[in-house]
Amino acid sequence: MIGIKQIKFLKDDGQDSYISHRRILSVANFIFSSVRGMSKFHAFLISTCMYALFIFYLSSLSSPPCPSDVGFLRGVLRELIKLFEEIGVEFLVCPLYLPYRYPDKFAHLILYMVFGFLLHFTLKNARNPVMTRYAAVLAVIFGTIYGITDEIHQAFVPFRTPSYADLIADIVGLSLAQALVFMYARFRSMLGASL
């Protein structure tokens, strides 16, 4: 008989196996205790590497999930665009045009914008003063190099092809992340000066 606090999973050989609730808690406790004693740099470095592996995984899929697969979201965007055009505020449609017309490029932009944030904060918390000082520029450079290797990697994945347009979307996402970090820092410094 299996206890309530056990989780069933299927092993590679097709046999059912069980793992105890206590075992899961002990592994989770080990991970959290390791993170607690970690410096900010190491925490951001691990997060950045894990995110880079996530991007690599998505690039390894022959048919990755695409935002256009979500029909509901496309329908909402289509109706929102129609509404804006009917009431005469077409200029508000511009930010919605990219995800509606080019969902793949928009996905690249968002993925690499998050990657840009992680790279920036990893470099900003490094002990090397050059990396700390030029975190924004280096984040775009390192992210672009990773984007290039990601596009080369896609050349070896069935049904995938490298694309300059994807690389440009990656660079825009990385740059946008740095611009947002800069604007946030300026806003905080102006807010601090006014107080």
Average pLDDT over residues 87-115: 78
* Window from 35-39, 44-48, 115-119, 183-187 with minimum mean pLDDT: 35-39
For the chain, the domains span: 1-37, 39-194
Residue 164 confidence (pLDDT): 92
CB 109 within 8 A of CB 143: no
Mean pLDDT of 69-85: 68
Mean pLDDT of 147-160: 90
Q: Give pTM, 2 decimals.
A: 0.70
Structure-model confidence comparison of residues 94 and 15, the more confident one: 94
